[in-house]
Amino acid sequence: MPSSSTGILAQYGALLNITTPGALALALGARAPYAMIPLGVLTGVTASTGSIASGGAATGVVSIAGAVGGPLIGRWADSAGQRRVLLTIAPLNLLAMAAMLLALAQSWNGPLLWAVCLWLGASTVPVGSFTRARWIERTDDPRTLSTAFSYESTVDEITFVLGPALVGIAASAAFPSAPMMLAAALVLLAGIPFALTAPRALGATATQSAGPAPRIGRVILAILPALITMICIGTVFGSLQTGTTERAAELGSPGLAGLIYAVGGIGSAVTALLAVLIPERVALAARVLLGGLGIGAGALAVALALAVQGSLPATAAILLVIGLFIGPTMVTAFTLAERRTQRGGTAVAMTTMGSAVTVGVSIGATAGGYLAGSSGSAAAYLVAMGAAVVIALTGGLLLARGRSVRTL
């Protein structure tokens, strides 16, 4: 065990040879507001309009606009470099947050509100995707890059857990629009500095040296297995959220839903951090296959446990097990995308992967919410199991294809 601990510390310590602790902290701060926006918009719009339907619709518009805008922002960054793009997008996003605060204060509903939501979503800065693109440009060493992706996935999980928690604390301690004010403050204090410290030529230099940047469609086709995996991981997230929320309500403790769901996020963050211990000889396809099987088995276990009136602690324990498989699978998906991306298409690939999670969460939340409402919380977890089966099949097909190529 000591040797394993030393190895982990050495691998993560190697990241400081190509970046600084200050840069890591700045990227974390810049990422935090975007984990707050979906729930912040839902909370604020619902309170200002008095309609949960309007709040849900507003959140959906923001998410869809962000999913569509992400790859386009990535293409721009691949062509013009990150700094120019960020120094344009970040201020626009800050203005969009100010417009949303005005909309909440004036109780806007209808076309004006949807226009602000489109602006807010389309100007979302894909901080996580851009930081991954920076790692790719900084190192050619596969082991170091895998460690960087493990770190990034851990940070993703931390922000996924802490973002909604910050929304809940701000909304309950102050007023419904407070989370959006806090998000805007974080963009100003961390997002703008993140843009100012972006390497001026990152993306643009790579594109110039490799010739014309590959088209977005070509990049997406190349990383399709990784995209399918990420969409399914997002579907797992969305369906687990709705299933856990419904289960907590069924047992008369709706306020515990976020805490129970966070247990899975903790498990995922830990194993994402430990993914650096997976031997290189374990193929990426095999990791995707095993991840899908583990997530699917855990989701089925939750559904069965709920069918026999399982308690919230039992649900939390199984979510922890599911999370243990999600973390390494996310790391593997990003690594798979990086290895299949043509030079000059890095930012497009990474932002598209981020958009894939958003699309998946929407699918999982919609399908899981419908089934949970009509058939109970156990049904929502079956959506997660179905998504996990697709992940396993994707890994299995990649593994079979790799073996067939080696036999030629």
User: How far apart are the C-alpha atoms of 253 and 313, rounded to whole Å?
Assistant: 12
Is the pLDDT at 24 greater than 70? The verdict is yes
Instruction: Give the torsion sign (CA, 7, 12, 18, 21).
Output: negative
Statement to judge: residues 203 and 279 lie in one domain: no
Q: What is the b/e burial string over 351-389, where b = at least 16 CB atoms within 10 angstroms of the residue's CB?
A: bbbbbbbbbbbbbbbbbbbebbeeebbbbbbbbbbbbbb
At residue 97, the pLDDT reads 93
At residue 6, the pLDDT reads 63
Statement to judge: residues 139 and 225 lie in one domain: no
Whether 205 is in a domain gets the answer: yes
Statement to judge: residues 201 and 218 lie in one domain: no
Statement to judge: residues 170 and 298 lie in one domain: no
CB–CB of 214/142 below 8 Å? no
At residue 408, the pLDDT reads 40
Domain at 20, CATH number: 1.20.1250
Domain at 384, CATH number: 1.20.1250.20
Structural domain of residue 256, as residue ranges?
Answer: 214-408
User: What share of the chain has pLDDT > 90, as a percent?
Assistant: 21
Whether 3 is in a domain gets the answer: no
User: What share of the chain has pLDDT > 70, as a percent?
Assistant: 89
Whether 39 is in a domain gets the answer: yes
Statement to judge: residues 124 and 218 lie in one domain: no
Give the number of domains in the chain: 2
Last residue of a domain, one of 210, 225, 249: 210
Statement to judge: residues 289 and 203 lie in one domain: no
Statement to judge: residues 45 and 130 lie in one domain: yes
Statement to judge: residues 182 and 300 lie in one domain: no
Statement to judge: residues 299 and 351 lie in one domain: yes
Is the pLDDT at 205 greater than 60? The verdict is no
* pLDDT, tens only, 224-278: 999 999 999 989 988 887 787 777 777 777 667 767 777 777 888 888 888 878 8
Is the pLDDT at 204 greater than 80? The verdict is no
| The model's pTM | 0.78
* pLDDT, tens only, 341-360: 887 788 888 888 888 888 88
The contacts of residue 322 (CB under 8 Å, 6+ apart) are 236, 240, 264, 267, 294, 295, 298, 299, 302, 384
CB–CB of 60/362 below 8 Å? yes
Site of tokens 């962000």: 66
**pLDDT band for position 309 (cuts 50, 70, 90):** low
User: How far apart are the C-alpha atoms of 304 and 296, rounded to whole Å?
Assistant: 12
- Residue 336, SS3 per DSSP: helix
Look at 397 and 338; give whichever has higher pLDDT.
397
Statement to judge: residues 174 and 285 lie in one domain: no
Radius of gyration of the chain, Cα coordinates, nearest whole angstrom = 21
User: How far apart are the C-alpha atoms of 353 and 334, rounded to whole Å?
Assistant: 8
What is the full DSSP assignment across 61-106? HHHHHHHHHHHHHHHHHHHH-HHHHHHHHHHHHHHHHHHHHHHHHT
Statement to judge: residues 45 and 174 lie in one domain: yes
Whether 168 is in a domain gets the answer: yes
Q: 227: closest CA among 85, 103, 132, 338?
A: 338
DSSP H helical ranges for 213-345 = 216-222, 224-250, 257-274, 284-307, 312-340
CB–CB of 236/302 below 8 Å? no
Statement to judge: residues 202 and 225 lie in one domain: no
Whether 6 is in a domain gets the answer: no
Look at 333 and 276; give whichever has higher pLDDT.
333
CB–CB of 179/36 below 8 Å? yes
* pLDDT, tens only, 384-405: 999 999 999 999 999 988 765 4
Look at 209 and 386; give whichever has higher pLDDT.
386
What is the full DSSP assignment across 345-394? -HHHHHHHHHHHHHHHHHHHHHHHHHHHHHH-HHHHHHHHHHHHHHHHHH
* pLDDT, tens only, 104-147: 999 898 899 999 999 999 998 888 888 888 888 888 888 888 88
